[in-house]
Chain A
């Protein structure tokens, strides 16, 4: 089991790198999805290791959550694009100071 756990940790780290280095909002979002999935993998591995179905139930909830989040997030990105004419995250630097 520790193999899959290590794998999920690695995937999470890759997703983290993606969040920090990508400049377009959509691609950042995709990296976030990657991270979520790695968490799911960890959950399922733990379920397999202990025989507790709760892990899989949790993973199911996470998938539903991710779906909802994607819907709203993409809506925001589209709305911002309409106003800003740009999807580069660096252009949205108004949280200054």
Chain B
């Protein structure tokens, strides 16, 4: 565990804690952006360069921006305020999260030692190596993801259409209009 690992660990945990506790939504969103950026740095250190860039571009750059757009758009979303109807959820949630962490930690402690040839095989996680995999064994997955993104686009567009309500006309009026049309013919 080097100094770099320690520093990144502290950054990640701090920004995550900030993201889940800050009352101002914009501040929380910004904290989350920080978290994602730190995560990207970690990816670089873990020989996953392509993934690191993708993390910055897509997650920090697109997803979080989207989040911040919506937070700004919806007046109510600016802050996590109001009477908490379930005050007991906080300690209970903390307890559950703690137990969860302990269980996962216990499970992860059984992981074996590193493969010494790892660095060579990974080839730094560069697009060339990753691309060979993606368009080779993982082609099917890539195609499905494409379909999924398409579906998401369509859904997103449909969801935000304004609702046009047809004006409800009284039946007598409809009847009269029809009669008038008959006479007028």
Q: Which residues of A are in contact with B by a Cβ distance under 8 Å?
A: 1-7, 9-27, 29-31, 33-34, 37, 40-41, 44-45, 47-54, 56-57, 59-61, 63-72, 74-79, 81-82, 85-88, 90
Contact = CB atoms under 8 A, between A and B. Distances in A.
B82 A21 contact: no
Overall SS of chain B's interface: helix
Contacts of A15: 16, 20
Interface residues of B, number: 86
B29 to A, nearest CB: 7
Q: Which 7 pairs of residues, A with B, have the shortest CB-CB distance? A: A18-B20, A20-B93, A51-B121, A75-B159, A68-B152, A51-B118, A13-B101
15 contacts: A10-B101, A15-B20, A17-B94, A21-B89, A31-B19, A34-B19, A37-B59, A57-B141, A59-B51, A61-B145, A65-B148, A67-B58, A67-B62, A72-B159, A77-B74
B76 interface: yes
B159 A76 contact: yes
B113 to A, nearest CB: 8
Nearest to B159: A75
Interface string B75-99: 0110110101110011011101110
A30 B148 contact: no
Overall SS of chain A's interface: helix
A33 to B, nearest CB: 7
Most buried by A among B70, B89, B134, B145: B70
Interface in B16-73: 16-17, 19-20, 25, 28-29, 32, 35-36, 39, 42-43, 46-48, 50-51, 54-55, 58-59, 62-63, 66-67, 70-71, 73
